[in-house]
Every structure is written in structure tokens, then in C-alpha cells.
Structure 1
Amino acid sequence: MQTAVAISVDGLGFAAWLFLSSVGLTLIYGVMRILNIAHGGFYALGAYSSAWAIGLFVNSGGAVVYSFLLIPLAALLAGAIAGLLVERGILRYMYGRDEVLMVLVTYAIFLILEDATKLIWGTESYVAWQPAFHFGTINVMDIPYTVYKFIIMAVALAVGAALFLVLNKTRVGKLLLVVIEDREISGALGINVTLFFTVTFVVGAILGALGGAISAPEISVLPGIGAEIIVLSFAVIVIGGMGSIGGAMLGALIVGFARALSVHLYPPAELFSIYLVMAAVLAVKPYGLFALAESRKI
């Protein structure tokens, strides 16, 4: 019974982190049809910004409770600035190009962002543990968990609900769905497609930075974390269906529980289990669980 509880809590915790880290990637693909490899760079920028700001604030005598405000602030600033520079400075000149070329371009941007983080923060690791332990721990079946883990779960639910409401219950969301369906018709109807692309990319970058910022208190922030998250995020959105917010949530749950099961039952298969699940899903649903097959255009 204790093992089952541990698998459940760890699976939900890992799924919440994965959803926050990958939902921006699937949002950008769903609207712009860009597989944004640079998403890993946004995650790393958010993590470094958050860890640096928290460390500076706490070491300067600031109350730990207020350091929580630095997490969304760091994500907002890092994601908005980097996302706007990348979209306005590079990607807007590439729209309409082959999808493979866009992957190569965003991969090059990812490498640039990786070097930028090293130039700004160096190669030493950053640890900002204070927020994660400020609220203490809670026992679940005699297993201690930090309250911060459950805060991350709550944030993931809030972000998922907010995206659902914006996309399905607001005028902006309905216009965005029109842009997704047909860019040319949207432009003919007077919809500013360029503005929607810019806002979507910046929001996706902020969400990617939020995934890094909120995870910073629980991890050691060091070079290479962006490459790790882009691989895991890709697995999540492929399982759920590329471009689907609901699919990203379901994919995160599947990956989260697959990892938790392997960690508690057979640790050597931790990474293998994720890709085994991805292969099994794609064997049955080649486009992911929530994605529709697209007609091939010649």
C-alpha cells in the first residue's frame, strides 16, 4: 500500500512538472506549426533566472516567503524578453519555410541560448532550495513530501484550466482557433495573424520559462538542463498529440506514472520506460492520443 501511494504522489508530481515544462511547446506547435527546439533554452533561462534571483534576495536578508513572488516574475521576464527577441528577430523571417528547416533554425537558437546562459551565469551550478523547504513537509502514509511539490501540482492545474478557458471561452481564443484552421482566410477576414503568432510564441516561451523557474528550488540548476527537458517534453507532446493542450496533460500523466513505476519497481528502466510507453502509443495512434491525422498536401 505504501509503495502504491508513493508511486501515485511521485507520478503526479513528475507529471505536473512535465506539463508545465511542455505545454508551451505544444501551444506553439498547435498555432504556428513550429517544433520549437529552442523551448529547452527558455526552460533553462527561467531556471537560472529564478535560482539567481532567489539566491540574491535571500542572501541579502529578504524573507523567504516573499521569494515565491520571484518565481513567476523571473519566468515572465525571461520568457517574454527571450521569446520576443527570438520571434521578432529571427522566426518572423522564416514563416512559410519547410518544417525541417524550422527545426534546424530553432535548434540553432537553442544552442545560442545555451551559450547565453553560460555567459550570463557561468558554468557553476545554482541551488535555490529555500522556497521548497519554507512550508516544510507533509506525511502521506508515513512518507514525507515537501508541501512545495503539491504547490507545483496546483500551479499545473491552474495553468491548464486557464489555457482551456482562454482557448474555448473567450473571443481571443475563438479567433486563435480560426488562425489555426486557415491562416490565409484569417488574414482575409481582417485577423492580425502576425500579432497572434507573436503573442502565441511569447506566451509559449513564458510557459517554458515557468517550468524551469518553478522547478529551480527542487533541482540543481546547471548547464545542460535545457537539453534534458526538450527530450522529455517532446515525448509528452508526441504521446498526447502535438498541438493539443489536453493531450499534453494526458501525456504528462502517462510519462509521469511510467517513470514513477519504474523508479519504485525497477530503477534501471527509468528512462527506458518513458520511451517504451511512447513507442507503444505511437504504434497504436501514430499521431498521438488527441491529434487528428492531417491530410498530406502536395
Structure 2
Amino acid sequence: MLQVLIPLTVDALANAAIIFFVAVGLTLVFSVLRVLNVAHGSFYSIGAYAAASLGLWVVSAGLPEWLTFPALVLSAAFVAAIFGPFVEHLLIRWTYGKSEALQILVTFGLFLILEDLQRIVFGVNSLYEDTPMRLLGSTMIGGIVYLNYQLLLIALAILTLVGLKLMISHTRMGKLIAAVVADREISQALGINTNRIFMLAFTLGVFLAALGGALATPTTGVSPGLGADTMVLAFAVAAIGGLGRIEGAAVAAIIVALARVLAIYYAPELDAVAPYLVMLVVLLVRPYGLFHTDTTRRI
């Protein structure tokens, strides 16, 4: 029994780690900017394309293969530096305080533009670069073979969760973000540059999404349409955990990943719908997500 459950659990946690990066970026942007960014999944796929392209260049150029590891993070940082401030200042900033319908329409338009941009730049063929996974190899524990890259993904997700919580609780920038989340008007009255906080939070969200795509590339590759699939899944995870809740995104990612893995093993025909069945059940019981808490609202 353990020879079945343990590998399934490891696969689920590795899957949850990738989902977490995207979902926590989405929920961070929503908690600070109060914007439902439908284009968030595109940053995931752009990060994946950038990581695969840079990794393939490193290998083809004859450079040391270990450079493909920093290439994953550098690709995500590059995507965030290029798209984060530019998109927030040029487009997202004008949706602040507007209706959710307008925000969804604007970001959906951005999503369509970014999807076409990816096809123009990277073409329509799939890219696959597995050097980081191959270099780390595998480990046999109790007669079961585990990919070390999967274990690395789990560790990175845990470090990211802890790092985000520590940043918000113990750094000046984190406290400024918390103040803006609590009350934008009071924050502005106190002299906090809320536009700068919005830009930094959006850029961090883009980085987390791009990092998820970059880290997923060695295991799954990247192909057209990846952004749309990831966006729907990230919204499901964010809804289950509660929009704006970082710890909720982590727990929901694990729940969704377990549902997908168990569906693949026991009922493959339910693989595509398992996450959304879980979301349906959770939202019927907790309409605002597992970690939603009632707060007072100033009127």
C-alpha cells in the first residue's frame, strides 16, 4: 500500500508546488491591487518559454550544464522586469477602483495579446529542455525511485511560502503592503506611495507566475495554450483557498494536486475535471474559500 501512496503523494506535492507559484502570485496581486488578472496565466507560459529557450541556448553554446539552474530563475526575473512595471503602469493602473467586469475584460484582452505575442516570438512548436532534471538524477528510498528535481520543487515552494510570510510580517515593504491591503485611503493619507506599492506587488506576482512556468519546463516542457490551462487552474486554487490568502493558496494547491493525482490513478477519465469538482464542493460549503475570514467594512 505504501509503495503506491508514497509516490502518489510525492507526485502530488511536486504538482502542488508548481500550481502554488502561479496561484500565490494571483492571490497576492488581488489582495493588494484588488484586480482579477485574467492574463496571469500568460506570464506563466512566457516564463516557461523564456526558461526553455535560455536553457537550450546554454546547452547548444557548450556552456556548463549547471548554468541551466540559474537560467530558470533569471528567466523569471527577466520576464518580471520587462512585463511587470510596463503592464501595471500602462494598463492595469487604469482599472483600479473600476468594476470587476471591466477589469476582467481589460486583462482578458491583455491575455489574448500576450498569447499571440508568444506565437510570434516562439512559434507554435513545443519546447522541451530537461537538463536540470537530468542533472539532479533520482534517489531510491525504500525501493521507490524519486526524481530529485521533484523534491527540489517541493522545497522551493516551502521556502517561497515562508519567505512571503516573513516578508509581509517582518520587513518594511511587507508592512507597507499590509497597510495598503487594510485601507488604501488611510495609507495614502499617511504618505505611503500606493502607486509604487501596486507596481512592486504586481511585478512580484508576475515573477512568481513566471518562476512557476520556468520551474515546470524541465518536467513538462511548454507548448501553445499552456497559459489558458494554467490560468483556469490557478483561479480554481485561489478560489478554494480564498482570494487574497497566501496560506490558502498553499493548502488549496495541495488539495487540487492530490485530487488530480488520485483521479489519474483511480479514474483517469476524471483527470480534467477533478480540480473543479473539488472547487465546487468547497465553495458550496465555504462560498468565499477555506481561509476566508469575515472583516468589518467601512461604509
TM-score (norm 1): 0.96
Structure 2: distance between partners of 1:270 and 1:94:
36
Residue aligned with 1:36, SS: coil
**Alignment correspondent of 1:275:** 276
Does the Cα contact within 8 Å between 1:239 and 1:278 map onto a contact in 2?
A: yes
Does the Cα contact within 8 Å between 2:237 and 2:256 map onto a contact in 1?
A: yes
**Alignment correspondent of 1:181:** 182
**Alignment correspondent of 1:152:** 153
- How many residues align? The count is 298
Q: Which residues in structure 2 correspond to 1:74-89 (within 5 Å)?
A: 74-89=75-90
Task: Give, in angstroms, the shift of residue 84 of structure 1.
Answer: 1.5
- CA-to-aligned-CA distance 1:13-36 (integer Å, 9 cap, x gap): 111111012110000001111111
Structure 2: distance between partners of 1:236 and 1:64:
34
Structure 1: distance between partners of 2:182 and 2:209:
24
Structure 2: distance between partners of 1:295 and 1:36:
25
What residue identity is the alignment partner of 2:152?
I
Task: Give, in angstroms, the shift of residue 185 of structure 1.
Answer: 0.9
Structure 2: distance between partners of 1:79 and 1:263:
33
TM-score (norm 2): 0.96
Q: Which residues in structure 2 correspond to 1:36-75 (within 5 Å)?
A: 36-75=37-76
**Alignment correspondent of 2:133:** 132
What residue identity is the alignment partner of 2:153?
I
- CA-to-aligned-CA distance 1:109-137 (integer Å, 9 cap, x gap): 11111111111111111110111111111
Structure 1: distance between partners of 2:116 and 2:141:
41
Structure 2: distance between partners of 1:142 and 1:33:
48
Q: Which residues in structure 2 correspond to 1:90-101 (within 5 Å)?
A: 90-101=91-102
Structure 2: distance between partners of 1:84 and 1:100:
23
Does the Cα contact within 8 Å between 1:3 and 1:264 map onto a contact in 2?
A: no
**Alignment correspondent of 1:235:** 236
Does the Cα contact within 8 Å between 2:167 and 2:173 map onto a contact in 1?
A: yes
4+ aligned runs moved over 6 Å, structure 1: 294-298
What residue identity is the alignment partner of 1:282?
L
**Alignment correspondent of 2:5:** 4
- CA-to-aligned-CA distance 1:170-197 (integer Å, 9 cap, x gap): 2221221111111111100111111100
What residue identity is the alignment partner of 2:212?
G
- RMSD of the alignment, in Å? 1.5
**Alignment correspondent of 1:164:** 165
Structure 2: distance between partners of 1:160 and 1:153:
11
Does the Cα contact within 8 Å between 1:78 and 1:206 map onto a contact in 2?
A: yes
- CA-to-aligned-CA distance 1:138-165 (integer Å, 9 cap, x gap): 2244332321111111111111111000
Task: Give, in angstroms, the shift of residue 291 of structure 1.
Answer: 1.6
Instruction: Give percent identity, aligned residues only.
Output: 42
Task: Give, in angstroms, the shift of residue 295 of structure 1.
Answer: 6.9
What residue identity is the alignment partner of 1:119?
I
Structure 2: distance between partners of 1:160 and 1:113:
28
Gaps of 5+ in 2: none
Task: Give, in angstroms, the shift of residue 231 of structure 1.
Answer: 0.7
- CA-to-aligned-CA distance 1:240-260 (integer Å, 9 cap, x gap): 000000000010011111111
